[in-house]
Amino acid sequence: MTFKATRLSLAAALLGFTALGASAQDFMPEAPECIAPANPGGGWDFTCRQVGKSLQDQGLISKTMQVVNLAGGGGGVAYAEVVNKRDGDEDLIVAASTATATRLAQNAYPGNTMDQVRWLGTVGADYGVIAVDADSDINTLPDLLDMIKNDPTSVSVAGGSAVGGWDHLKVLIAANAYGVEDVRTVKYIAFDGGGEAVTQLLAGSVQAFTGDISEAKGFVDSGDIKVLAVLSPERLEGEFADFPTAKEQGVDAIGANWRGFYAPADISDEAYDGWVAKIAALYASDEWKAIMEANGLAPLDMQGPVFEEFVADSVQQIRDISTEIGIIQ
């Protein structure tokens, strides 16, 4: 999946912040907190911890950001917590991604909609991967998909999103592109975060893992897993250049997972503009560019109303895909 808003440039995004008042620039959270809606080790956890550290390192926040892991429901537990109990908390931001848009698109957060929070901005995009244990006899994505084609019950695929969530959709999109007639036969096992999903892969409980490259990187570096395919249009650069794409293996599947943040709906405009400005300044920094490169994050730069419009578009696109492959009616 690709999104038209990826064409937005950093320069265009930054123009919007020249209009912010001094009060927004002066906003400083008293007790900064980031909710990661999954257990430690996954992409949301990475987003909170890395962004929190970088914000403090660059003086954009004056105190250490507390990271709270609140797993459950593919992000639904955290979403409900913010909407129902933390609605005016100006110190709070929450890690979000395409997985969040996916659950909203599928009405999987009961009673909740995207307009119940305020969307702050992105810090990059994380391409999807499909991987196996380093010792597995499976060496290519077609090897894995052939096994699924021949006997769907022989392969269990673990992911860090709920059933029907973005990790699930990525492997279904790949299976659909490879000609698996009924993608609903693919065995997907949901865990609370990518870290737990990889742990189950290494324990031998499942045969494959679907997640994002930032989640997989540490396990690749340690020699525990091997990446069968990256769901990017072309090979990534640098240390990720050795990972083959699905496309070059004859599987026309692309999955880009944006990473960003939302905040409670009832915070003041000063707090909202302040968080938006901080995320924009972080993204524009050389330090963050280096972190993106080291962790396989692709450029994706949107803040404030532009990001909100992007999320709305994403929700609609994912709803259409989910209907097409039978996840929702």
Retrieve residue 155's tokens. 């392969």
My answer on whether 92 and 68 are in the same domain is: yes
Low-confidence winner among 23-37, 52-66, 94-108, 301-315 (lowest mean pLDDT): 23-37
Angle CA 300–305–311, to nearest 5: 60
In sequence order, the 6+-apart residues with CB closer than 8 A to the CB of 80 are: 73, 109, 112
Mean pLDDT of 303-329: 89
Give the residue from 254, 228, 245, 16 showing the smallest Cα distance to 121: 16
Q: Is residue 309 part of a domain?
A: yes
Helix (H, G, I), strand (E, B), or coil: what is residue 187? strand
In sequence order, the 6+-apart residues with CB closer than 8 A to the CB of 137 are: none
My answer on whether 133 and 120 are in the same domain is: no
List 298's β-bridge partners, or say none: 125
d(CA 295, CA 24): 30
Q: How confident is the model at residue 275 (pLDDT cuts 50, 70, 90)?
A: very high
Q: How confident is the model at residue 24 (pLDDT cuts 50, 70, 90)?
A: low
Mean pLDDT of 47-63: 97
The CA-atom distances, in angstroms, between 136 and each of 111, 191, 225, 233 are 42, 21, 9, 26
- 143-155 pLDDT, tens per residue? 999 999 999 999 9
Alpha-helix runs per DSSP H in the chain: 10-15, 22-26, 43-57, 76-85, 98-105, 141-150, 166-178, 194-202, 213-221, 269-284, 286-294, 304-324
Among residues 249, 271, 292, the one where a domain terminates is 249
The CA-atom distances, in angstroms, between 41 and each of 36, 254, 317, 318 are 10, 24, 28, 25
My answer on whether 166 and 221 are in the same domain is: yes
Give the residue from 286, 8, 42 showing the smallest Cα distance to 122: 8
Q: Which residue type occupies 275? A: W
CATH value at residue 291:
3.40.190.150
Low-confidence winner among 14-18, 90-94, 98-102, 268-272 (lowest mean pLDDT): 14-18
**% of the chain residues with pLDDT over 90:** 73
d(CA 60, CA 56): 6
DSSP 8-state class, residue 244: P
Q: How many domains does the chain have?
A: 2
How confident is the model at residue 295, as a pLDDT? 87
**% of the chain residues with pLDDT over 70:** 92
- 155-203 pLDDT, tens per residue? 999 999 888 888 999 999 999 999 998 888 999 999 988 889 999 999 9
Mean pLDDT of 68-79: 95
Angle CA 266–65–125, to nearest 5: 80
pTM: 0.79
- Say if residue 7's pLDDT is above 50: no
Q: Is residue 212 part of a domain?
A: yes
- 242-270 pLDDT, tens per residue? 999 999 999 999 898 999 999 999 999 99
How confident is the model at residue 317, as a pLDDT? 84
Alpha-helix runs per DSSP H in 115-230: 141-150, 166-178, 194-202, 213-221
Residue of higher predicted confidence among 313 and 92: 92
- Say if residue 14's pLDDT is above 70: no
Question: Are 32 and 63 spatial neighbours (Cβ–Cβ below 8 Å)?
Answer: yes
My answer on whether 121 and 143 are in the same domain is: no
* Structural domain containing residue 188: 127-249
My answer on whether 265 and 190 are in the same domain is: no
- Say if residue 68's pLDDT is above 60: yes
How confident is the model at residue 328, as a pLDDT? 86
My answer on whether 33 and 107 are in the same domain is: yes
How confident is the model at residue 42, as a pLDDT? 85
Question: Are 95 and 261 spatial neighbours (Cβ–Cβ below 8 Å)?
Answer: yes
Alpha-carbon torsion 262, 268, 274, 276, what sign? Answer: positive
Q: How confident is the model at residue 326 (pLDDT cuts 50, 70, 90)?
A: confident
Q: Which residue type occupies 285? A: S
How confident is the model at residue 23, as a pLDDT? 54
When the pLDDT of each residue in the chain is averaged and rounded to a whole number, the result is 90
- 115-136 pLDDT, tens per residue? 999 999 999 998 999 999 999 9
Tally of CA atoms within 13 A in the half-sphere of 226 that contains its CB: 13
- Say if residue 137's pLDDT is above 80: yes
How confident is the model at residue 322, as a pLDDT? 87
Q: Is residue 329 part of a domain?
A: no
How confident is the model at residue 163, as a pLDDT? 87
My answer on whether 294 and 315 are in the same domain is: yes
- Say if residue 18's pLDDT is above 70: no
